[in-house]
């Protein structure tokens, strides 16, 4: 399974859910291998593509990460890192 860092899914929570969902099934005791996908952003203003910085927006009651371009400070689009994909299933009978 591949989980992007920008999904904000806790890996331990995913493992716990997997164990709970496979309990008392033929998949009980199976391995869940998780690979984390790095985040990457693209700026529509300056064309920057790469790593990013977080900035909290004080207008919200709880901190919400706002992705800003490290080059020009504009808001960016997420290009990579919001995936949650089953990449491989291997069964042995």
**Three-state secondary structure readout of the chain:** CEEEHHHCCCHHHHHHHHHHHHCCCCCCCCCCCCEEECCEEECCCCCCEECCEEEECCCCCCCCEEEECCCCCCECEEEECCCEECCCCCCCC
Contact 7, 41 (CB under 8 A): no
Tell me the pLDDT tens digit for each residue of 8-48: 888 999 999 999 999 999 999 899 999 999 889 999 999 99
pTM for the whole thing?
0.70
């Amino acid at each position: 399974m591949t989980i992007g860092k920008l999904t904000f899914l806790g890996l331990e929570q995913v493992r716990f859910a997997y164990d709970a969902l496979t309990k008392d099934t033929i998949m009980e005791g199976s391995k869940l291998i998780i690979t984390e996908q790095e985040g990457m952003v693209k700026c529509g203003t300056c064309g920057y593509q790469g790593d990013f910085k977080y900035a909290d927006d004080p207008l919200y009651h709880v901190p919400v990460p706002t992705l800003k371009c490290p080059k020009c400070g504009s808001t960016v689009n997420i290009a990579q890192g919001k995936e949650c994909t089953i990449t491989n299933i291997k069964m042995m009978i």
